[in-house]
């Protein structure tokens, strides 16, 4: 890739200073069992929240996770990743002499349930919240968090989280679609040498945000492209796929959610659209590529945040810790929210306080904190991740190619 757009490979990560061995003790999670019913809560005043946190022997962090709904595995991995980080930090002595504890609320992957979940979290005197991971949910609840006055760290990637709102309590801990969609377009044209790009995206916030970024880049570079869209829940994409094929595209960028990504892979294969495909993070996750036959993915790439095949010491140490704790390999959700707890813990330690405002200010000064997902550095719009991983799908699994930083 041209240096004017991208920097080179990420340096081998240093070990996060607080990383300790996995604790075998009992879970410290408080989990809500039902957030489906309508819940009305009013956040306590910031001074009362701070006093309660200072007086407690524990530091409570809220977790919004999709434990039920259409993608419960994602919620499970979110909870597991966050809990593993808590167990490690507590085993190493905690933060400010206190133990961390999680309050997990099920956001169900829907806006109504997500609002209820964040209202529940806001009622618990938490010092921070991690999640939700879906952009629509994050957009729906950011005002609640702002009113409650505590930081929220999200893996949601829609550009709208910073282009349409300015919430000083909101921090993004994954690369935004503005970065990842640009990486996909650059990789397609500069690395793969493609001349006519198909854009196949979901019509929701996630897909639309990425499509806009890719279209702007391709237009600026004078590269021809064809755009097709689909809707969440579609079960047949034949019309859109055939239009891309008939247009003679020599690469397709696919940006959609999990179920639709797997469907696209099958229909591209069945309908003979045999060109390189660069997918979003979805295709590199086990819960999606396990829905696909390996031959569907022979020519697929992914712009993602994380793959277990990344050889860095930081990634491999985390992979082994997660496997020891849960007998499963980690994926994106586990890694994102494992990192989120370390980010919060680091901010609390540097702030020397459990005051949410002090934690917010420390989060905004995060600089060079290394984790298995990325090296976190907050910029002036509270984005903490500034690059992405390029993978190639090989025998149905994501193989690491390189980590690339976008130049500031």
Q: Is the dihedral of CA 120, 162, 335, 258 positive or negative?
A: positive
Using pLDDT thresholds of 50, 70 and 90, give the confidence band for residue 14: very low
Best CA proximity match to 261, nearest among 242, 228, 225, 234: 234
Best CA proximity match to 401, nearest among 314, 300, 333: 300
pLDDT, tens digit (0-9, with 9 covering 90-100), for 334-362 = 999 999 999 999 999 999 999 999 999 99
* Among 23-27, 154-158, 181-185, 196-200, the least confident range: 23-27
Domain coordinates in residue numbering, the chain = 11-175+311-386, 177-304
Same fold, 11-175+311-386 and 177-304: yes
Q: Is the pLDDT of residue 163 over 90?
A: no
Could you tell me whether strands 387-394 and 300-304 are parallel, antiparallel, or unpaired per DSSP bridges?
Answer: antiparallel
Residue 32: what pLDDT? 46
Q: Is the pLDDT of residue 243 over 60?
A: yes
User: Cα 105 to the chain's mean position, in Å?
Assistant: 18
* Among 1-10, 137-146, 305-314, the least confident range: 1-10
CA dihedral of residues 110, 112, 116, 122 (deg, nearest 10): 80
Q: Is the pLDDT of residue 54 over 80?
A: no
SS3 state of residue 380: coil
Region 11-175+311-386: CATH code: 3.40.50.2300
Residue 57: what pLDDT? 92
Residue 310: what pLDDT? 95
Residue 260: what pLDDT? 95
Residue 263: what pLDDT? 96
Q: Is the pLDDT of residue 65 over 70?
A: yes
125 sits in the region (left: phi over 0; alpha: psi -120 to 50; else beta) called: left
* Among 40-54, 80-94, 299-313, the least confident range: 40-54
Using pLDDT thresholds of 50, 70 and 90, give the confidence band for residue 190: very high
DSSP 237-267: -HHHHHHHHHTT-SEEEEE--HHHHHHHHHH
Instruction: Looking at the structure, give the CATH architecture of the domain made up of residues 177-304.
Output: 3-Layer(aba) Sandwich (3.40)
Q: Is the pLDDT of residue 3 over 60?
A: no
pLDDT, tens digit (0-9, with 9 covering 90-100), for 249-293 = 999 999 998 899 999 999 999 999 999 999 998 899 888 988 999
* C-beta of residue 95 within 8 angstroms of C-beta of residue 20: no
Residue 61 CB-density burial (10 A; 0-12 exposed, 13-18 middle, 19+ buried): buried
| Strand partners of residue 303 | 390
365 sits in the region (left: phi over 0; alpha: psi -120 to 50; else beta) called: alpha
Residue 50: what pLDDT? 55
Average pLDDT of the chain, as a whole number? 88
* C-beta of residue 88 within 8 angstroms of C-beta of residue 18: yes
Find where tokens 């200010």 sit.
361
Q: How many Å apart are CA 101 and CA 126, to the nearest integer?
A: 10
Using pLDDT thresholds of 50, 70 and 90, give the confidence band for residue 206: confident
Q: Which helix (H) or strand (E) holds 319?
A: helix 313-326
Residue 56: what pLDDT? 79
DSSP 158-187: -THHHHT---TTEEE-S--HHHHHHHHHHI
Q: Is the pLDDT of residue 19 over 90?
A: no
Mean pLDDT of 316-337: 97
User: pTM to 2 decimals?
Assistant: 0.80
Q: How many Å apart are CA 17 and CA 102, to the nearest integer?
A: 21
Q: Is the pLDDT of residue 11 over 90?
A: no
Using pLDDT thresholds of 50, 70 and 90, give the confidence band for residue 205: confident
Mean pLDDT of 42-63: 69
Residue 4: what pLDDT? 32
Counting residues of the chain whose pLDDT is more than 90, the rounded percentage is: 75
């Amino acid at each position: 890739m041209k240096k004017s757009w991208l920097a080179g490979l990420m340096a081998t990560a240093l070990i996060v200073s607080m990383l300790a061995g996995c604790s075998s003790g009992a879970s410290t999670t408080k989990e809500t069992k039902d957030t489906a019913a309508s819940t009305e809560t009013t956040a306590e005043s910031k001074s009362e929240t701070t006093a309660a946190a200072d007086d407690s022997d524990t530091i409570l962090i809220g977790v919004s996770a999709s434990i039920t709904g259409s993608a419960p595995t994602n919620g499970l991995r979110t909870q597991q990743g966050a809990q593993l980080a808590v167990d490690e930090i507590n085993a190493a002595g905690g933060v400010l002499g206190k133990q961390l504890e999680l309050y997990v609320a099920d956001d169900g992957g829907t806006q109504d349930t997500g609002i209820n979940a964040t209202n529940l979290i806001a009622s618990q005197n938490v010092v921070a919240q991690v999640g939700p991971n879906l952009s629509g949910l994050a957009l729906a609840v950011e005002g609640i968090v702002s009113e409650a006055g505590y930081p929220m760290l999200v893996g949601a990637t829609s550009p709208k989280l910073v282009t349409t709102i300015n919430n000083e309590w909101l921090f993004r801990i994954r690369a935004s679609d503005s970065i990842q969609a640009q990486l996909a377009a650059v990789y397609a044209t500069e690395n793969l040498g493609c001349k006519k790009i198909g854009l196949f995206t979901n019509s929701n916030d996630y897909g639309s945000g990425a499509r806009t970024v890719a279209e702007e880049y391709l237009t600026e570079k004078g590269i021809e492209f064809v755009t097709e869209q689909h809707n969440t829940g579609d079960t047949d994409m034949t019309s859109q796929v055939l239009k891309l094929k008939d247009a003679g595209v020599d690469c397709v960028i696919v940006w959609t959610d999990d179920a639709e990504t797997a469907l696209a892979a099958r229909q591209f294969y069945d309908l003979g659209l045999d060109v390189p495909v660069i997918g979003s993070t979805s295709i590199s996750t086990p819960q999606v590529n396990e829905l696909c036959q390996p031959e569907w993915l022979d020519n697929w790439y992914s712009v993602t945040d994380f793959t277990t095949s990344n050889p860095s010491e930081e990634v491999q140490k985390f992979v082994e810790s997660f496997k020891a704790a849960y007998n499963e390999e980690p994926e994106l959700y586990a890694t994102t929210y494992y990192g989120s707890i370390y980010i919060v813990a680091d901010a609390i330690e540097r702030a020397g306080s459990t005051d949410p405002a002090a934690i917010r200010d420390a989060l905004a000064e995060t600089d060079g904190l290394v984790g298995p997902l990325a090296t976190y550095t907050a910029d002036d719009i509270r984005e903490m991740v500034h690059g992405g991983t390029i993978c190639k799908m090989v025998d149905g699994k994501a193989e690491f190619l390189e980590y690339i930083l976008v130049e500031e």
